[in-house]
Amino acid sequence: IPKRDWSSDVCSSDLVAVVYARNRASVTFDNKTWRMEYQASEQGFRYVDTTVEWSGRDDLAALRESAGKPLAFNCRPTRRMS
């Protein structure tokens, strides 16, 4: 089985929408919206709920299931404040 080249995958801003408010983020992907709480991270930012995590740096982010499976990655986060 060939290894997948994750670096070639791009997260379109049409696929993931994020709205930040204080210590929370609402992340929408594939017609689902999660309301996540901020958790301290040594590397960039991290928002979590019981099933998913939105984490990354100012220039690159990923939406992952709690088990680590990526849902959307190589995302360029745009900050929209509510």
User: CA-CA distance, 55 to 43, in Å (whole number)?
Assistant: 9
User: CA-CA distance, 24 to 46, in Å (whole number)?
Assistant: 10
pLDDT tens digits for range 4-55? 444 444 565 568 888 988 899 999 998 899 999 999 888 899 999 999 999 9
pTM given for the model: 0.75
Given a contact cutoff of 8 angstroms between Cβ atoms, the answer to whether 11 and 18 are in contact is no
pLDDT tens digits for range 49-67? 999 999 998 788 999 998 8
pLDDT higher for 58 or 69? Answer: 69
Within a 10 A sphere around the Cβ of 47, how many other Cβ atoms? Answer: 25
